[in-house]
Structure 1
């Protein structure tokens, strides 16, 4: 599974810029923690773009994922990876500037994760739950691939998330945060970006989607690859390139200032 992550995109600078704007009052001595960091797809953009070069911790329970993150060729002096879980972060109270979770929070115990985030964030610190999807306007490459997965994978819906049991359910991060009553300034932002990829890169990126594992298991690797290849070929230019659109969804909130905290 780790090898498939190499075909997933990193998150865009504009997401981190928004976080920077929210954390302008938080001293740089407090670190940012990316929980469920995986191979570092959000950890590295945080390390690059958080101002001014704030220390960033990628927390990930899987040793294999942590090794892949540490082996990334880009060397960033302000980032390190450690073992840890969303439900028991291990940081002291009021010691962290940012708690981030990228394509991960839907698998956490939400109540415990939000309580832990509230405990460790400094006043005015930021909670950021982010994710991305392929753009899926009608008849786009993303729409066709998601439609294929919806046909092949029982219970799968492109707007749903897999929980810790591997079942698909809707997860509204803003509603979960607001219902917890622990944070202020709960809001959402949408970020879009486009990349050009070669046909085989798009097929590999589609194989890296989590439901693709189930689709492959259901009909076999070669038939699934053929079905993906036929979709991607329809959207390829004469030079063999495909325009791939991404839509990033971010839910953000702030820790209450001192004196307003429970």
Structure 2
């Protein structure tokens, strides 16, 4: 597990400051099944610094029972400072879920691809309450809609060892159906397309919070950052801002409710 932990240690400040947040429309869809549950039990798995909690807690309420787990102690320290009322743990998500009980919602935001996914889903299915839900949410840079992002992905593919822009090209919906449908669970997939603007320095900060860019810096040093700055200079507008299109995805699997199970 140590290599996975090292992916994000030392990156917490840039990660928390520069990573894009999740679209409100998908967060509202995500929490819909929890309507009417008092003090819902939520686990943020692979939580990082708790970016998804920034959107969930205002919707669900401060009185919910929130737990968060991440491999990186740096990320957890930053998250704990932001959300001291959340119960934070350092470690892998899979064994954490295997010992969890009576969970209403498990969220894996921008982290599911790093998991032992079959083990994660077995554990999620085992600890969720009837009608509980596991949600996979991710923001994807839409390189098909942006010449800048297309060039940025090409730069990473050239200079970051082993990187491919398709590194998250898994059929998460099919994986959820395989895990949950046999027990009467239901799976849904929702998407949202949105655009933000980002100052050049903020984009560099976001890039440096990425393990792919860190691998490129280890391999090529300052040369990668110099080429990134040149790329930004060629695509930024006259105010030095970049237009950033995103394609966000939400995959949810809900366990059968008590009434459905009885039926």
TM-score, scaled relative to structure 2: 0.84
What is the deviation of 1:17?
A: 0.2
Partner of 1:165: none
User: Where in structure 1 do 4 or more consecutive aligned residues deviate above 4 Å?
Assistant: 90-94
8 Å contact kept, 1:44–1:79: no
8 Å contact kept, 1:135–1:247: yes
Partner of 1:10: 21
> C-alpha offsets along residues 146-172 of structure 1, whole Å, 9 cap, x if unaligned?
1111122343221214xxxxxxxx432
Aligned pairs (5 A) from 1:1-262:
1-5=11-15, 6-24=17-35, 27-50=37-60, 54-72=64-82, 79-89=86-96, 95-137=102-144, 139-161=146-168, 170-180=169-179, 181-182=182-183, 184-220=185-221, 222-258=222-258, 260=261
8 Å contact kept, 1:177–1:183: no
For 2:69 and 2:250, the matched residues in 1 are separated by 19
What is the deviation of 1:188?
A: 1.1
Gaps of 5+ in 2: 1-10
What is the deviation of 1:79?
A: 3.4
Change (3 A) 1:116 1:11: same
8 Å contact kept, 1:133–1:247: yes
Higher helix share: 2
8 Å contact kept, 1:118–1:182: no
What is the deviation of 1:192?
A: 2.5
Change (3 A) 1:35 1:139: closer
For 1:40 and 1:112, the matched residues in 2 are separated by 23
What is the deviation of 1:137?
A: 2.4
8 Å contact kept, 1:31–1:97: yes
**Number of positions where the alignment pairs a residue of Structure 1 with one of Structure 2:** 248
Gaps of 5+ in 1: 162-169
Secondary structure in structure 2 of the residue aligned to 1:227: helix
8 Å contact kept, 1:186–1:253: yes
What is the deviation of 1:208?
A: 2.2
8 Å contact kept, 1:185–1:253: yes
Deviates more, 1:234-243 or 1:252-261: 252-261
What is the deviation of 1:48?
A: 1.9
Change (3 A) 1:236 1:175: same
Change (3 A) 1:182 1:214: farther
> C-alpha offsets along residues 59-107 of structure 1, whole Å, 9 cap, x if unaligned?
22322211111223xxx57634233532222676751110110111222
